[in-house]
Amino acid sequence: MAATVFVFGSINADTSYRVAALPGAGETVIAASASSSPGGKGANQAIASAAAGAPTRLIGAVGTDVAATSLLEALGSRGVDTAAIAPRTGAPTGSAVVYVDDAGENCIVVLSGANELLDAEVASSGLSSIGAGDVLVLQSEVPAHASRAAAAIARTAGASVIWNAAPAPASRSDLVGDVDLLVVNETELVQIARLLGIRGATDEPETANLAGLLSATAAALEADAICTLGAAGAIYVVAGSSGRVAAPKVRAVDTTAAGDTVVGYLAAHAQLPIVERLRLATSAGALTVTRAGASSSIPQLTDVEPMLVDLTERTPA
């Protein structure tokens, strides 16, 4: 039986607005267009994992409102198993408003809603079938205690655990243990290294020794680690080796969900050697930014493979 990817995380109803420039404080801007789609890092990463070809189950919480019904239908249409998503009364389904400018950059406002009600009980129920060889994916948009409970269950069952520490944890109490692979961007790496008391972590991402911080952070967490660098690809410390993988050169239209696409593809192809795995994931992320929209921009594996072939041919051995 093929390994299953279990994603424990946030589920939001996203509304995206396309604007010429992101609004400043007190500024009103006119949107050129709007669209709606499933969102939240958990939902996005589950959609990406399914698009990458892996059997994928999403574990999370939604309200009992109309938005929940629409989200479950949309997730199912993208190949995501939604049987472990728990309805919660007394809280709305999570939602997010995304603003995207003409350069493809975005800013996002999130109302957590039912996502804040995720707990160990939901984790235990949703992960009842996880086993050796499976993969659990976590983020930081749901309570850390719930993610820690999920990680402990997965580890006990012999599954591997990926923690995408996004958004960056605010305190040490937000850190997740029992992690096999940490995935962060530059800002998140610096913040986690700072929380861990790693020397040099007071630098801003632009001036920090990211490779050194990644190695030290991996050692402190006793885990492998990947730091995504956007258009510059990614650096990694995995199984005692380290290096950098380039990303394809593309013109960014909308960067929303690019990082989530990378994480979903990493989870779906956990069996690949790290360089091959990262080339695939960063290619998928690069293709995502060429498309407008949030989860709707996440590509299928068949769309990514031609880009991967081109990247491999242009990369020196």
- Reference 257, options 86, 100, 54; nearest CA is 100
* Annotated catalytic residue within 174, 260, 303, 310: 260
Distance CA 210, CA 201 (A): 9
43 contacts 12 by C-beta, under 8 angstroms: yes
260 has catalytic annotation: yes
124 contacts 42 by C-beta, under 8 angstroms: no
Residue 73, classed as helix, strand or coil, is helix
- Reference 57, options 129, 160, 162; nearest CA is 129
Distance CA 64, CA 201 (A): 43
- Reference 147, options 6, 5, 295; nearest CA is 6
DSSP state of 201: T
Distance CA 145, CA 151 (A): 10
Locus of tokens 């030290």: 216
Distance CA 285, CA 121 (A): 33
Residue 214 backbone dihedrals phi, psi, to 5 degrees: -65, -45
Distance CA 298, CA 254 (A): 11
Residue 189, classed as helix, strand or coil, is helix
* Residues annotated catalytic, as ranges: 260
